[in-house]
Amino acid sequence: MNSNAEALIQSEAESDANRDNLWSASFLGLVVTQMLGAVNDNIFRWFVIGIGKEQAATNIGTVLMAGTACFVLPYILFAAHAGYLADRYSKRTVIVWCKWAEVAIMALGILFVFTDSFWWLLATVFLMGAQSALYGPAKLGAVPEMLKMKHISSANGILGLGTVIAVAIGTFVGNSLSDWTDQGATNIGLAAAILIGTALAGVCASLMIHALPVANSDLKFPWSPVEAFKETVNNLRVLASDRAILRVALGTAFFWSLASLAQMNIDQFAAEGGTTTQQQVGPLLIALVAGTAVGCVLAGYWSQGHVELGLLPLGAAGMALSSLALSFVHGAIINPDETLNLAYGIACVLLFFLGVFAGLFEVPLAAFMQHRSDPRHRGVILAASNFLTFGGCMLVAILFMGMRWQIWEGSVSNIAAAQYEGSPEFESQLAHALAVHKKAWREGEQPEITPEQISEFAAGDDERRKATAELLWVELSRRFKLGESVDRSDVLDRFPEDKQLAAGVFQQASGVPLFSSRVIFLFCGIATVPVLWYILRLIPQPAIRFFVWLASETCYRIRVYGRENLPVNGGALLVSNHVTWLDGILLLLTSSRPVRIFVWAGNFQSKWFREFAEWHGAIMIDNGPKGILKALRVGKEAIKNGELVCIFAEGGITRSGQVQGFKRGLMKLVEGSDAPVVPVYLDELWGSIFSFSGGKFFWKYPQGWRTPISIHFGKPIEAPYDVFKVRQAVQRLGSQAFAARHDRVEPPVHGFIKACRKRLFSRKVADSTGVDLTGGKLLAATMIMRRLLNRHVLENRQAEPMVGVLLPPTGAGVIVNAALALDRRTTVNLNYTVGNDVLNSCIRQAGVKHVLTSRKFMEKFDYKLDAEVVLLEDLKTKPTTMDKVACGAAAFLTPSAILGWQFGLDQLEPEDLVTIIFTSGSTGEPKGVMLTQANIASNVQAVDQMGHLQHTDVMIGILPFFHSFGYTLTMWPVLSLDIAGAFHFSPLEPKQIGQLTKKYSGTLMFSTPTFLRGFLRRVDPDQFKTLEVVIAGAEKLPIDLCDEFEQRFGVRPVEGYGATECAPLVSVNIPPSRSFDNFQTDRKEGTVGRPIPNVSARIVDLDTGEELDVGQQGMLQILGPNVMLGYLHLPEKTAEVIHDHWYTTGDMAVIDEDGFIRITGRISRFSKIAGEMVPHIQIEEALAALLGPSEEEKPRLVVSAAPCAKKGERLIVLYTNIDKTPQELREALVARGLPNIFIPAQDAFYPVPELPLLGSGKFDLQAIKQLALAEAAAHANS
C-alpha cells in the first residue's frame, strides 16, 4: 500500500469519531435495503427457473446454469460502470436509484410472465443482475464510510447474516411462487404484488440511509464497450497493485464461486435423494442458511472488533470437510412414503456446518477489503473484486452445466423397485402388459400408463411399484426419444402413491448426467484443500493466533477495551504491565496487526521453540549488554518500518500484582522518532496458574473455568516521552480497567460465605475472651445473630438501613459486623474513644436508631446516646432450637451459591454501602465516609495479592473497627479470605497481645508505629516468633523502630499508606517474608510503597493543579476502586476532595521513578513562610533523630505553627520531656544542613504536659493547633 493510501486510511481513522455506531438508523436502513434486495433477487430468479424447469425438464442443469449466468453476467460486463458510480456519486444516491430501477425491472418481468415469454424473462433476470451489480460496490463501500472502524467486522457479519436469511426466504418464496402460479400460468397478480411490493419496500428502506460523501468527482463515465473493457482492466490493475487486497479478492471470488456451485447442486442433490416437492428441499436450504447465519454471527463475535484473517483456515477446512462428508451421503434421503429418514437428518447437519464454515470464511474477507482498501478507489476496488467474483460464478455455472449434462443413457435397471421378483403369475401378466404397451408405442398410439391399469394385475405394494417402474419407463423413454416435451409435474401427479418412484423413472428416462450431485460435492471439497494449504502458507501467524485465541477463549472470557487506540498503520510501541507467562500470546491475539514482542531468550532453550517464536516476529533479548542492545536495535528498526512492537517494561513478571518500575531502555526504541507509545494494561490475570499468585508459578489449582480476562489499550502517548510518563499511563489504565469490570466485583460478604465453607471444621475466628470458632460455627453464629436482630431489634431494611455498633475488636464484634453485612445493612462502627457529643453527631448524621453494644462495655464508659442501646447479653437467651438447627444445617450443608441467593446477595451492587466510617477528626469535624462493596473488595484483594496469603496465616487483629485500618484490613480479610483471625479488644495491652499471638501462632499484624513501640519492651520475643508480616500505617514509621523491632522479634515492619476515604489502603511496601524471587526492589524504607493493584497515584501542583514529574513535591491524588463514594450527606465536602474521580488526600508527597511514594507531610502540616512551603514532619523527624531513642512509647514533640505578621507563619515546637535545650537542637538542625526557614526560633519551643493523641495513636492535629496558638499567645503576652 502506498503512502498516500496509508495517509487516507489514517485520515479515516482520525475522523472515526464522527461516524455512526453499529445500530444507527442509517446502517439499519442499509441492512433492510440489502435484505429486501436479496429477497427480491432470489424470488424472481427462482420463480423464472421454476418456470424454465417445466419448459425444459429434460435438462434442468441447463436451466439452472442459464438462470445463474443471466444474473451474474452483468457483474462482469458492468464492473467498471459500478465502480464509476460508487466513486463518482454519493453511495446513498446510487443505492436509492438502484432500488427504483428494481421496481421498474419487476414490473417488466411481470409483463413477460403474463405474455409467457420465457426467454424474455431470462433477459429480465439479466437486468436484475445488472441492477444488483451497479448496487453492490455502493453498498459495500458505504459500510466503512458510515460506521466506526471497530464495527466493520460486526457490520459485515450482520450484512452477511441478513443476506443469507434473505436468500433463504427468496429461494423458498420463489420456488413456492412458481408452484402457486402453476409455473406462471395463473395468479399473476399475486406474483406482481410480491415482487413489486418488495421492491417498493426496498426503496423506502434506502431512504433511511444518511448522506454519504463523494469519493472522487473527477471520474469519467466509460461510455463505449472498449472504454468499459479498458476501465475494467484498469480496475483490475488498481486491485492488483496491493497484493494483500488482490489475494483477498481472489479468496472472495473462490468463496462465491464455490457457494454458487453448492447452491445449484443442492436442488439436484435433493432430487437424486428422492424429493418430489420443493417443501422437501426447504429444510436443506434452511439448514444451509441457518449455518451461514451462525457462521456470520460467530465471525463477527470472534473478530472482537477487528479484522480477523485467522478465521480463514478454519472456514476453509470446515468447508472442505463438510463438502467431502456430503459426498458420502448415499441413497435416498426420503422414504418411499415421503417421510424423512436418517440420511436426510445427516444431510441437514452437514449443510448446516457447511454454512457455518462458509460464514467464517466470507466475513473476514469482506471486512479486510473494506477496511484496508484505498478510500480514494474503494468503489473501483470493490467493482474489480465483483468482476472476479462473478466471473468465477459464471465459469462455475458453465462448469455445472457441463457436469450435469445428460450424456449417459438411463436404464430401468438403475431403479431399485424394478428389481423386485414377484410371483410367476404377476411376472407373466407384467410381461404381457409391457409387450402390449411397447407395441402401442411402436404403432404410434402413445398411450399413457395409469395406476388403474396397473392395479388390474398388481396385488401388493411391491408388485405395484415394479409394474409402475417398468411400464412408465417404456412410456417416458419413448417420449424423450421422440423429442417430446414432458411435464414432470403431470407425471408425478398421475402416481400420487408413487411420486418418488415416478420421479426416479423420469430422471433415468431423461438421461443420466456426467456427474452426480454427490460427486460435485466431492469436487467442492477437493477444490478447497489447495486453497486451505495456500492460506496456511501465506498467513500462518494470524491462523495460529486465532486458533490459540479460540483455545484460550475456551478457558477464559477475554474482553478487549480501547482496541481503536491501536494505530491503523505505521509503527508504534506498545508498553504493557507483565502479570503472567501468557501475556505475550494474549497481546498477539487481540491485535488485527502483527505485534513483535520482546521476549527473554532464556525462556526459549529449545532451538525449535526459539525459531518458532522468531518466525512469529518475537524479538529475542539475549544475555548481557550486547544482547540487550541488539534487541533494542531490532525493535527500533521494526518501529521505523511501520511495525507494532511490544515491550514488557518492568523486565519480568510481577510478583505482587503491582506495576513495577520501568526500565529506561524502552525509550531507546522511540528515540528520534514520532512513533506513538500505546500503554497497555492486562487485568484480571492475577490468580491464573501462569501468574505468581500464591508465591509460585504453575503448581496450583486454576481459578475456574471461563474466568474473565481484560486487556486495555490506552490512548497513544505522543512525543516527547519519558519513562515516568509512560509508567504513569500504564498504571492509570489499571484503574480504568477496574472501573470497566466494576459490575463484576464480588461483594466481600459473598467471600465470607465461601471462606467459612472452606474452613468448616478448622479455626476461623478467635479472641482473647475465649471465643474460638471454626468457619462453620462462625457462619452459623452469624446467621443466628442476623435472625435475632431482625426478629427482636431492627425494623425492616428499608426503614432502618444503617445500624450503629459500639464494640471493640473481638469475636462478638466480628459476628455483629458480619451479620449486618449478611443482612445487606450498612454498619456504623462508633468511635468509643470520643465524647458523647461526637458520638451523637455521628448517630444523627447516619440516622442510626439502634446501637449494638455489650453491658461490660457500657459499664466501662459513661455513654449517653441518642439512640436505643441494645445489649448483646440480652439476646443470649433468644435463639430457639429451630434457630440453631436451621442455621447450623444451612452453615454446614447448604451450598454457598444457594445461601447467597437465600440472603439476596445476588441483589447487591458494587456501589451499595457496606459501612460508614467517621473520620478521626485529626484536621476538623468528623465526616461520615461512605465505603462501598467495591471499596472493601479492592482492599481485601490487594491484601491477599501482595501478602501472598496462605491457608495457614493467622491475622492478629488489634485495631478498632471504627477505624478503617481495623475494619477493612484486619476484619474483612479474615472474614472473606481463607485465613484465620485472632482478636484483642485493645492495642494498648502488649502482654495480652503477645500471649494471643503465641497461642494462635499469629503470622500477620497491622498496627501503628506507636503501638509497635509498646511491644518492644512488653512482649517476649518468643511470643512473636511466628509473626511474618507486620505492616504499620497511620503515622510515619521511623527506621530506628524497624531496626529495633527486627532485632528483637526477627521480623521487619514495613510501611503502608492509606486514608479513610480510600478504604483505607493506597500503597504498601512488600514485607520481606513475602517477597519471593523478585527481580526488582519491592520495598524502599522511607517510602510508603507502590500503589496497590488497580490504584493510581499522581502528584499535582498546589496552585495550578497540573500533574508534576518524577521526584517533584506536590499534592498527592489517588484514583481507583478504593476511593470512597463520598461523605455522608455532604456533597459539597465531597466535591472539594474528589475531582474527575481523583481523590485529593491532603498529603504532600513525591513519587520516584520506580513508583514508590514518599509522604512529606499533610498540607495542614506545612507552613508557608516567606512564600516557601516548610514541612513540619521533616523537622519533627530531624528533631526526633537528634533526641535519640526514648523509653516512652508516645512521641515527645510535635511541630505546629502560629501566625506571623512579617513572614505569614512561624514554626512552633511543643514538647513533653527532652534532654536537650532548644538552642542545642537549633544548632544541631543547622549542622544537619536544614535551611534557615526550617529552623524554629529559640523562643518557639514550648513545654506542655502531654501531646494530644487520637485513639488510633495519631496526633490530634486540631487540638495541637489550638494548643500551639494558645501557647504562642500566652508567651507573646508575657
The residues facing 1169 across adjacent strands are: 1172
Tell me what the mean pLDDT of segment 1085-1105 comes to.
93
**Is the pLDDT confidence value at 923 over 50?**
no
Residue 19 pLDDT level (bands cut at 50, 70, 90): low
Class of domain 17-218+233-403: mainly alpha
> Which residue has better confidence, 262 or 107?
107
Distance (Å, whole) CA 257 – CA 398: 11
Looking at residue 922, what is its pLDDT?
44
> Which residue has better confidence, 925 or 726?
726
Question: Do 765 and 782 contact (CB within 8 A), yes or no?
Answer: no
Distance (Å, whole) CA 473 – CA 453: 15
Least confident of 271-280, 840-849, 1106-1115: 271-280
Query: How would you classify the pairing of strands 954-957 and 980-983?
Result: parallel
> Which residue has better confidence, 294 or 992?
992
What is the chain's mean pLDDT, rounded?
85
Residue labelled with grid coordinates 487485568: 683
Highest mean pLDDT among 412-426, 557-571, 879-893, 1188-1202: 879-893
Question: Do 1117 and 728 contact (CB within 8 A), yes or no?
Answer: no
Question: Do 422 and 466 contact (CB within 8 A), yes or no?
Answer: yes
Looking at residue 642, what is its pLDDT?
87
Q: Which CATH superfamily is domain 1170-1277 in?
A: ANL, C-terminal domain (3.30.300.30)
The secondary structure of residue 792, as a DSSP letter, is I
Looking at residue 805, what is its pLDDT?
97
3-state helix, strand, coil in the chain (%, to 5): 55, 15, 30
Residue labelled with grid coordinates 443470649: 876
Question: Do 333 and 347 contact (CB within 8 A), yes or no?
Answer: yes
C-alpha separations of 525 from 262, 389, 528, 1195 in Å: 10, 19, 5, 85
Q: How far is CA 831 from the centre of its chain?
A: 43
Number of alpha carbons in the 13 Å side-chain half-sphere of residue 837: 2
> Phi and psi (nearest 5°) for 469?
-60, -45
Residue 622 pLDDT level (bands cut at 50, 70, 90): confident
Cis bond before residue 1064 (omega within 30° of 0)? yes
What does the pLDDT look like over 846-872, one tens digit per residue?
Answer: 999 999 999 988 888 788 899 999 999
Distance (Å, whole) CA 942 – CA 940: 5
What does the pLDDT look like over 488-543, one tens digit per residue?
Answer: 777 888 888 888 888 888 888 888 888 888 999 999 899 989 888 887 777 666 66
> Which residue has better confidence, 742 or 803?
803
**Is the pLDDT confidence value at 387 over 60?**
yes
Residue labelled with grid coordinates 494558645: 1270
Residue 1051 pLDDT level (bands cut at 50, 70, 90): very high
Looking at residue 334, what is its pLDDT?
83
Listed residue (422, 409, 6) closest to 244, CA to CA: 6
Class of domain 748-1116: alpha beta
Q: How far is CA 430 from the centre of its chain?
A: 73
Give the DSSP letter string of 1042-1101.
HHHHHHHHS---EEEEE-GGGSSEEEEPPPGGG--S-SS----BTB--EEPTT-EEEEE-
**Is the pLDDT confidence value at 706 over 90?**
no
Residue 699 pLDDT level (bands cut at 50, 70, 90): low
Looking at residue 13, what is its pLDDT?
52
Looking at residue 61, what is its pLDDT?
61
Residue labelled with grid coordinates 491464573: 688
**Is the pLDDT confidence value at 1246 over 90?**
yes
Instruction: Quote the percentage of the chain above a pLDDT of 70.
Output: 91
Distance (Å, whole) CA 1110 – CA 1155: 9
Looking at residue 782, what is its pLDDT?
97
Listed residue (547, 576, 553, 450) closest to 502, CA to CA: 450
- Please give the grid coordinates belonging to residue 1040: 530506628
- Please give the grid coordinates belonging to residue 186: 395463473
Looking at residue 295, what is its pLDDT?
86
Residue positions counted in the chain = 1278
What does the pLDDT look like over 624-659, one tens digit per residue?
Answer: 788 888 888 998 999 888 889 999 988 888 888 889
Residue 1265 pLDDT level (bands cut at 50, 70, 90): confident
Assigned architecture for domain 556-744: 3-Layer(aba) Sandwich (3.40)
Q: Where are the alpha helices (DSSP H) in 207-341?
A: 225-240, 243-272, 278-303, 311-326
Question: Do 306 and 327 contact (CB within 8 A), yes or no?
Answer: no
Tell me what the mean pLDDT of segment 1237-1246 comes to.
90
Question: Do 1045 and 1016 contact (CB within 8 A), yes or no?
Answer: yes
Tell me what the mean pLDDT of segment 769-774 comes to.
94
Beta strands in 565-693 (DSSP E): 572-576, 595-600, 619-621, 644-648, 677-683
Q: Residue 604's CB: how many other CB atoms inside 10 A?
A: 17
> Which residue has better confidence, 557 or 128?
128
Distance (Å, whole) CA 1240 – CA 1202: 11
Looking at residue 1128, what is its pLDDT?
95
Ordered by start, the domain boundaries in the chain are 17-218+233-403, 415-510, 556-744, 748-1116, 1170-1277
Looking at residue 487, what is its pLDDT?
74
Looking at residue 599, what is its pLDDT?
85
Residue 89 pLDDT level (bands cut at 50, 70, 90): confident
Rg of the chain in Å (alpha carbons): 41
Looking at residue 17, what is its pLDDT?
58
Packing angle of the helix pair 25-55, 152-180 (nearest 10 deg): 30
The residues facing 512 across adjacent strands are: 408
Tell me what the mean pLDDT of segment 909-932 comes to.
83
